[in-house]
């Protein structure tokens, strides 16, 4: 019942949104007729009020010129290709045809397909609606006088963002390319890294209106077939009108209806997705969204960056431990501060205690309120800095962080302690390589802060145990979220808080890569050159 209430509160989950009320999907066929004018009229009707739809009439220079209508959306097509290749071919093509080819209304589509436009890989369509769909997909529809068969020439183009380094996941040593909005480009980025036919890419279309293509990528033989099937099943279950980003899909296919922690890993780095595919995971790419989903996701993978695999193993281990410490600071520091200074003063050395006590003599609020207010202020600043243009955003953080903090302390509204604590917390929280896990930490920080204000350290521990229970109960596509720690699989600890050198990464993670556990030959580690003639002239035979 609670969930019903919640649903109602969140989104009118009652009758309004139920599938019965959805307008029926126009599935019926509308075959093209042989009447060119009628076809043309119908098509113009379909695209009426579409300013970017172009209807270009031209003729096909046969013995008896045939009228031809090119239909395309200028916003989705490559103008240069249309004018230089297609129109040129249509006008000049017939002249270069072999003699035996005769052009009549009936044969013209075939002639176009096989000879005139063969370089463009044309397809044909007999249905008006199918043709519409093609046009909406960035193809050029060609209606030929007297033929009920339309030729479709792919000419996708239009503005696309070039491949850039993903801003949220910068890298120092690894590759710099990042996913863009185009699904094809994205798949190509993966394929370039995985030149094997075992990389399977299955696409399906989601969204009644948006017709967003979604691709499921996996490496055959590594990914468990039942998991792939589960991904397909969950994706097919989605029936929405629009999918505008991977976030839309993510919330539909996650295991828990509401979880504070991301149950699906999102990344903009193709190398990261590829590495995940090689561990037996499954990538889900969504058209028009550079952030790509990887399932199953474990908690520890949210604390790992692809950079970790490109730098040396000891450094990577150090960085990961540092990140873990930072995660704990980001989660706990405000709560611990409140607990220690309001409940367990005996834990503070007396000099620090007296200093803090003295700075707090004339401030109006108790320490809990101070920390809470500062945290809220910080969250505001952070959000403000994020949404503003970069240059202004920096100004906002500077003004907010330095000036407000300094002024509040100098004016005596706040004691310096919460300012320092919140600043440290903020710095620590920026080390999270995954933005989403950062957000869960931010929410939980407040939860723990309140508990700390009520029961001190005991409250924090109660809260942590509740979080731990939540985390251990989570599963992402059947894989326990806290693996390899709980349940413990010792072999997989090699790539957790530590990262062993690549020559020691012999097996894939136990739970995901169970089908083909061995990743590489063992004993490939660098070996010292055998001791040869240098010492005492001794030489091995």
Each as own residue / partner, the long-range contacts of residues 321-325 (CB below 8 Å, 24 or more positions apart, any chain) are 321/497, 321/498, 322/431, 323/431, 323/432, 323/433, 324/497, 325/428
Answer whether 428's CB lies under 8 Å from 329's CB: yes
- Contact (Cβ atoms closer than 8 angstroms) between residue 125 and residue 91: no
Question: Nearest 5°: phi and psi at 484?
Answer: -90, 20
Q: Which of 275, 457, 506, 510 binds another protein (CB under 8 A)?
A: 457
Residue 365, Cβ neighbours under 10 Å: how many? 15
The yes or no reply on residue 462 touching another protein (CB under 8 A) is yes
- The DSSP code for 261 is S
Least CB distance to another protein at residue 301 (A): 17
Determine the interface stretch with another protein among 50-58, 113-121, 347-355, 426-434 (rule: CB under 8 A): 347-355
Q: Among 178, 262, 280, 456, which residue sits at the site for another protein (rule: CB under 8 A)?
A: 456
Query: Under the criterion CB under 8 A, does residue 354 sit at the interface with another protein?
Result: yes
Q: Please identify, using beta-carbon distances, which residue of 5 and 322 lies nearer to another protein.
A: 5
Residue 406 interacts with another protein (CB under 8 A): yes or no: no
Binding test (CB under 8 A) with another protein, winner from 468, 478, 502, 520:
468
Using the minimum distance from each CB to another protein, give the nearer residue, 218 or 341: 341
Based on the shown chain and the rule CB under 8 A, indicate whether residue 450 belongs to the binding site for another protein. yes
Give the count of residues interacting with another protein (CB under 8 A).
57
Given 14, 170, 487, 517, the residue binding another protein (CB under 8 A): 487
CB-nearer residue toward another protein: 101 or 493: 493
The residue (of 207 and 463) whose beta carbon lies closer to another protein is 463
Q: Which helix (H) or strand (E) holds 71?
A: strand 66-73
In angstroms, what is the minimal distance from the CB of 420 to another protein? Answer: 13
Structure tokens of 538?
């001794």
Q: What Å distances lie between residue 36 and 31, 410, 429, CA to CA?
A: 13, 81, 64
Sign of CA dihedral 416, 420, 423, 429: negative
Site for another protein contains 480 (CB under 8 A): yes
Q: Binding of another protein at residue 491 (CB under 8 A)? A: no
DSSP assignments along 364-387, one per residue: SS-HHHHHHHHHHHHHHHHHHHHH
Q: Report the nearest approach of another protein to the CB of residue 363 (Å).
A: 8
Q: At closest approach, how far in Å is the CB of 295 from another protein?
A: 20
Least Å distance between CB 26 and another protein?
34
- Restricting to residues 250-279, name those near another protein by CB under 8 A: 256-258
Query: Does 494 contact another protein by CB under 8 A?
Result: no
What is the rounded CA–CA span in Å between residue 520 and residue 503? 8
The 3-class SS string of 266-330 reads: EECCHHHHHHHHHCCCEEEEECCCCCEEEECCCHHHHHCCHHHHCCCHHHHHHHHHHHHHHHHHH
Burial of 87 (0-12, 13-18, 19+ CB in 10 A): middle
Report, in Å, the least distance between residue 440 CB and another protein.
15
Would residue 493 be called left, alpha or beta, if left means φ above 0 and alpha means ψ between -120 and 50 degrees? alpha
Is the CB of 1 or the CB of 209 nearer to another protein?
1
Q: Which residue lies nearer to another protein by CB, 276 or 367?
A: 367
Exactly one of 453, 477, 496, 512 binds another protein (CB under 8 A); which one? Answer: 453
Which chain residues interact with another protein by CB under 8 A?
Answer: 1-3, 6, 256-258, 341-347, 349-351, 353-363, 366-368, 416, 450-451, 453-459, 461-462, 464-466, 468-470, 472-473, 480, 482, 485-488
């Amino acid at each position: 019942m609670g969930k019903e209430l919640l649903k109602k509160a969140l989104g009118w989950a009652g009758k309004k949104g139920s599938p019965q009320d959805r307008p029926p999907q126009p599935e019926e066929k509308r075959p093209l007729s042989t009447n060119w004018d009628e076809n043309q009229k119908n098509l113009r009707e379909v695209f009426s009020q579409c300013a970017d739809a172009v209807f270009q009439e031209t003729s096909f220079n046969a013995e008896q010129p045939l009228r031809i209508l090119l239909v395309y959306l200028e916003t989705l097509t490559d103008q240069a290709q249309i004018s230089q290749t297609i129109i040129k071919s249509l006008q000049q093509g017939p002249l270069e045809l072999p003699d035996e080819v005769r052009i009549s209304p009936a044969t013209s589509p075939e002639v176009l397909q096989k000879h005139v436009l063969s370089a463009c890989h044309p397809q044909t369509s007999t249905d008006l609606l199918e043709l519409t769909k093609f046009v909406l997909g960035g193809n050029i529809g060609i209606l030929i006088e007297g033929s009920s068969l339309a030729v479709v020439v792919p000419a996708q183009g239009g503005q696309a963002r070039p491949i850039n380094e993903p801003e949220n996941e910068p890298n120092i040593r690894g590759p710099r390319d990042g996913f863009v909005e185009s699904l094809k480009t994205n798949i190509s980025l993966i394929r370039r890294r995985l030149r094997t036919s075992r990389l399977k890419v299955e696409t399906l279309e989601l969204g009644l209106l948006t017709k967003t293509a979604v691709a499921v990528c996996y490496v055959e033989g590594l990914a468990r077939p039942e998991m792939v099937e589960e991904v397909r099943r969950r994706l097919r279950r989605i029936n929405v009108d629009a999918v505008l980003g991977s976030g839309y899909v993510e919330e539909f296919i996650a295991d828990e209806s509401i979880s504070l922690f991301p149950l699906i890993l999102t990344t903009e780095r193709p190398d990261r997705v590829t590495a995940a595919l090689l561990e037996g995971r499954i990538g889900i790419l969504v058209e028009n969204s550079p952030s790509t989903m990887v399932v199953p996701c474990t908690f520890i993978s949210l604390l790992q960056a692809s950079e970790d695999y490109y730098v040396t193993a000891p450094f990577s281990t150090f960085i990961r431990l540092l990140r873990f410490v930072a995660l704990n600071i980001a989660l706990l520091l405000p709560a611990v501060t409140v607990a220690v200074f309001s409940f367990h003063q005996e834990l503070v050395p007396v000099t620090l205690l007296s200093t803090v006590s003295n700075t707090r003599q004339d401030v109006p609020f108790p320490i809990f309120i101070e920390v809470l207010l500062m945290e809220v202020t910080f969250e505001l600043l952070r959000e403000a800095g994020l949404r503003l243009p970069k240059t202004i955003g920096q100004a906002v953080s500077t003004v907010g962080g330095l000036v407000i903090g300094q002024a509040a302390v100098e004016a005596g509204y706040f004691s310096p302690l919460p300012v320092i604590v919140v600043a440290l917390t903020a710095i620590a929280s920026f080390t999270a390589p995954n933005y989403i896990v950062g957000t869960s930490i931010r929410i939980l920080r407040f939860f723990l802060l309140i508990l700390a204000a009520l029961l001190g350290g005991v409250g924090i521990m109660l809260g942590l145990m509740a979080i731990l229970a939540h985390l251990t109960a989570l599963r992402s596509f059947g894989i326990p979220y806290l693996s390899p720690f709980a349940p413990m699989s010792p072999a997989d600890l090699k790539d957790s808080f530590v990262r062993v050198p690549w020559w020691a990464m012999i097996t894939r993670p136990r739970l995901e890569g169970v089908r083909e556990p061995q990743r590489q030959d063992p004993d490939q580690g660098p070996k010292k050159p055998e001791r040869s003639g240098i010492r005492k002239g001794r030489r091995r035979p």
